[in-house]
Structure 1
Amino acid sequence: MADALAYDADSRTPVDPAQAVSGMQIGIVLIGISITLPLMYSAGELAQGMGLRSALTATLLGALALSLMSIPAAVVGARTRLSSYMIIEHTFGYAGAKFVNFGFGVFLLGWYAVTAELFGRTLFLAAAELSTLALPEWSYTVLSSLIVTVTTIYGFKAIDRLALIAVPFLLLSLAGVVVLSLRQVAFAELLNMPGTGDIDMPTGVSAVIGAAIVGVVLTPDLTRYARTTRDCVVASFVGQGGGMCIAYIVGMIPVLVWGELEPMTYMILMGFGGIALAVLVFATWTTNVINLYSTALASRASVPLGDYRSVVIVMGVVGTVAAIVGISDQLIDFLILMGLLVPPIAGIYFADFYIFGRRDFSEEHLADRPAIKVSAVLIALGSGLVSAWLYYAGASITTIGALDALILSMLAYSSLEFVLGKRAKQRS
């Protein structure tokens, strides 16, 4: 399945059912995707700002919300056997899908920049500890981005396969970090440690959701390989929910025990040294190759300027500049924003599929639809902006901004489609 996912990402044809796999297999892939440096940093910031007890509660609530939002998206993928790009194109129209993909490209580029900055910082800390090099931190960010960009152009196939080896080692390494940390401070004692109070519960839950919300909307890319609806449920709870719980828990405990937010720093304190560097660097290298690869695909789908290699280079340069500027300093705010602006896209294709029963995804049907479905594009943009305004005004309906955005977009789109459909019938 890994090869198919890597090289059939922009396919316009349904997946052959003979390629279908179990929900557990898809869930394991999603867990591997969840273990990234930005999520570890986000987990550490939540633990410091909320205290472990509240941070764990926020993680569980966020993971549950992600799982529940992922299930309908997963089922759409399994029943259509199509990639998320094709589903979005059928919902928003050919030209409308370009607007959506442009938005995805912006978010993915931001995620690439965050990861690039943290990757460079990890190399900087490792060099300071393990060698006598005295280069500025930004130079490591540039170096790491150069490696990622070159790999994305020439070596994606190799790095994709090596990732299958790196992820298990990363999980074992992080499990060891947690176990050794709990030998220093008892879990019960950690639970009673107060946070700084800088992060409240709605903000914490929104940050957890925002960290994976793009993946939820793009769940069909994976679940088009699912065998049954039950496999979609398993993949959603094991992958989206379980993956976030694992990523956040292993990122919280060491930060509180060792008093360090940097994974490289607390791993060095624990004596991991070179092993920690190898695991973190390779895992982050792999993750950011996928980030840049996805950014390039989304960018070319929305604004086809130049070939794939040129787009990768341009996106790599822009992302590196953003990383040097210091985008990770606003990591929590960035995650919250993603959690508010992305869910309406899923809400609209949920409504199309489940409420209006528009399940004809043939090329002939797509040709009959307008190039841009204005109602869908406007509702997606408007719902995201309104949800963001409600959240920052403290007027959230469900207290979880992502759910507000999802529900609002479904209701607004359904209402508008009903009115437009009724008018069309009256005219005929």
Structure 2
Amino acid sequence: METTTLAEVPMEERKSWIDVAMIQAGIMICVPSLMLGGMLVEAMSFKNAIISGMIGYVIVAVLFCLMGVIGSDIGRPTCVTAIAGFGRKGTRYIISTLIFISMIGWFAVQTSVCGNAFSSLIKSSAGEDFPPQASMAIWGLIMLVTAVYGINALDWLNRISVPALFVITIAGTVLAVNKYGTGNLFNDPDKPGMTIVGGIVLTVSFMAAGCLAASDITRFQRTRRDTVLSSVLGVSPAGILMVVLGAVMTRVAQQYDLTQVFVMVGLPILGMIVLIAATWTTNTTNAYSGGINAVLMLRLADDRRWLATMVSGVLGTVCALLGLADHFEAFLYILGDLLLPTMGVILADYWILGRGKPENFHMPQGFNWLGIVSWLAGYAVIRLIPQGIPFAQGILAAGLLYIILTKLIGRPQDKPGYVDAELTDRL
């Protein structure tokens, strides 16, 4: 059972970049990722959908690296790395709460998709009615168990599941193409409902919570090199593959959901295996990050993370039963709008003001209003200026304003007489 939560992860507990890359890839491989490919290809040409997904996931990988290296440098999760820019109370009451809600939402979406698909598979393969609500409850609790045990359980799960999922998802797409042909593959919509820029925005918004929470996993990396390798090779290839497969299956089989495609080609058991494994590798991380943020929110001891994780997963399962997944696309945009500008503050504080040096990282008490005001300004830019690339403009606006304000007013840790609290103090 993992017991290191807000404290620095000791070097002897850290892992190889391959182990962390498997966890990152496992986050990418899921039914909603296939859904993203389907959403893109239904709104634009096949070529533009793939371009949007590829560019989007390259940007996601860059954000993962920038956020993740901070975590590996100081060995702490995102909710701790955010304290420098938002203050301890600002992070506890605002940033951690926001991430916690996001992770519960993602857990709900994944559990709902898994529950509904599992019930459909039972119906189509065995002819038996299995209530989706019961399926959601069962699988939500099963997936929660891995998250409760922590990083070692995530490592074990993804080491087994990810290579198998790569092979099976590609094989399923090939079967779909063989059965239905490629006649509809380039049958593009007459009037595209989304531009390439819009597709990029949707893709990055899709992974906004994951980018922000990158340090929750990369704190277990030994070096910056390991963090970059695991982030680039774990995130981009798996994410782009899911977009491509989701787009191809939506066009040729009129179905983005690979599990249903397996049913359509006469292999329901294989579809069920993919459904469970793909959802499990992603959803367990959602509950895991939710639990870490709950520890800070509720001022729990490090060794109570398991309990906070369990509560997070149960809340996510309840949200699934209430139908959160019905508002999936709107949820993605709202999530990205709220989360992305916080990265502008965190990145500016560490990489520019702190010059990327761990020894310059501090954790001021109270609220750092400079960071909070900058974050809100970045959010306003995203909402009020839809032209261009809103998420990039929001991140840059938040970061630049934070730098300007700190130069004019000064951060709490820059004031004369400031003494940083011991990093081992309970937050």
Q: Does TM, normalized by the shorter one, top 0.5?
A: yes
Instruction: Say if 1:327 and 1:51 are closer, same or farther in 2 by CA, change over 3 A.
Output: farther
Report which of the two has the higher share of helix: 1
| SS, match of residue 16 in structure 2 | coil
Distance in structure 1 (CA, Å) of the matches to 2:346 and 2:227: 17
Which shifted more, 169-178 or 313-322?
A: 313-322
Hey, what does 2:124 align to over in structure 1?
129
The C-alpha deviation readout for 1:230-282, integer Å capped at 9, x for no partner, is 54444343233223212211222122211124332211112221122023113
- Segment drifting more, 300-309 vs 53-62: 300-309
Offset at residue 101 of structure 1 (A): 0.7
Within the alignment, does 1:371 sit opposite 2:366 as a pair?
Answer: yes
Q: Secondary structure in 2 aligned to 1:194?
A: coil
Cα deviation, residue 102, structure 1: 0.6
Q: Is the 8 A contact 1:296 1:308 kept in 2?
A: yes
Aligned equivalent of 1:66, options 47, 60, 64: 60
CA RMSD for the aligned pairs?
3.4
Counterpart residue number, 1:284? 279
Q: Which amino acid aligns with 2:366?
A: A
The aligned counterpart of 1:348 is 345
Choose 78-87 or 53-62, whichever is displaced more. Answer: 78-87
Displacement, 1:217? 2.3
Q: Distance in 2 between matches of 1:240 and 1:87?
A: 21
2:90 pairs with 1:96: yes
Summarize the Cα distance change of 1:237–1:251 in structure 2 as closer, same or farther, 3 Å threshold. same
Cα distance in 2 for partners of 1:423, 1:308 equals: 29
- Could you say what secondary structure the match of 1:10 adopts? coil
- Secondary structure at the counterpart of residue 278 of structure 2: helix
TM-score by length of 1: 0.84
Alignment deviations for residues 162-184 of structure 1 (CA, whole Å, 9 cap, x no partner): 33212222111101012223334
Matched residue type, 1:420: I
Is the 8 Å Cα contact of residues 109 and 292 (structure 1) preserved in structure 2? yes
- Please list, as runs of the form range in 1=range in 2, the aligned pairs for 1:356-367 lying within 5 A after superposition: 356-357=353-354, 366=362
Give the direction of change, closer, same or farther, for the CA distance of 1:206–1:13 in structure 2 (3 Å limit). same
Residues 187-336 of structure 1: matches in 2 within 5 Å? 190-194=185-189, 197-226=192-221, 229-304=224-299, 311-312=308-309, 314-336=311-333
Distance in 1 of aligned mates of 2:271 and 2:264: 11
Partner of 1:55: 49
Q: Aligned partners of 2:230 and 2:102: how far apart in 1? A: 24
For 1:54-99, what per-residue CA distance to the aligned partner results, in whole angstroms no more than 9, with x for missing partners?
A: 2111101211221333332233334434433332223322222212
Does the Cα contact within 8 Å between 1:206 and 1:335 map onto a contact in 2?
Answer: no
| Distance in 2 of aligned mates of 1:365 and 1:136 | 51
Amino acid at match of 2:40: L
1:421 aligns with one of 410, 414, 417: 410
In 1, Cα distance between equivalents of 2:415 and 2:362: 25
Q: Which amino acid aligns with 1:176?
A: A
Cα deviation digits, residues 139-159 of structure 1 (max 9, x gap): 322332343345655799657
Indicate how the Cα distance of structure 1 residues 9 and 266 shifts in structure 2: closer, same or farther if over 3 A, else same.
farther
For residues 256 and 355 of structure 1, do their structure 2 counterparts lie closer, same or farther at Cα, with a shift above 3 Å needed?
A: same
1:116-195 equivalences under 5 Å are: 116-149=111-144, 152-153=147-148, 161-184=156-179, 190-194=185-189
Q: 1:224 to 1:141 in 2, by over 3 A?
A: closer
Partner residue of 1:106 out of 101, 105, 119: 101
1:196-235 deviation per Cα after TM superposition (whole angstroms, max 9, x unaligned) = 7344433321221122222222333444455655544443
Judging changes above 3 Å, is the alpha-carbon distance between structure 1 residues 168 and 202 closer, same or farther for their aligned structure 2 residues? same
Are the aligned partners of 2:348 and 2:403 in contact in 1 as well (CA < 8 Å)? yes
Q: Give the conservation status (yes or no) of the 8 Å contact 1:17–1:227.
A: no
Q: Is it true that 1:84 corresponds to 2:103 in the alignment? A: no
**Distance change (3 Å), C-alpha of 1:272 and 1:423:** closer
Against the structure 1 CA distance between its residues 197 and 142, is the aligned structure 2 distance closer, same or farther, given a 3 Å change threshold? farther
CA distance in 1, matches of 2:381, 2:187: 37
Closer, same or farther: CA 27–167 of 1 in aligned 2, 3 Å: closer
**TM-score after normalising by structure 2:** 0.84
**C-alpha separation between the residues in 2 aligned to 1:225 and 1:311?**
20
Where does structure 1 lack aligned partners over 5 or more consecutive residues? 1-5
Output the CA distance in 1 between the equivalents of 2:416 and 2:117: 64
Compared CA separation, residues 213 and 234, structure 1 to 2 (3 A): same
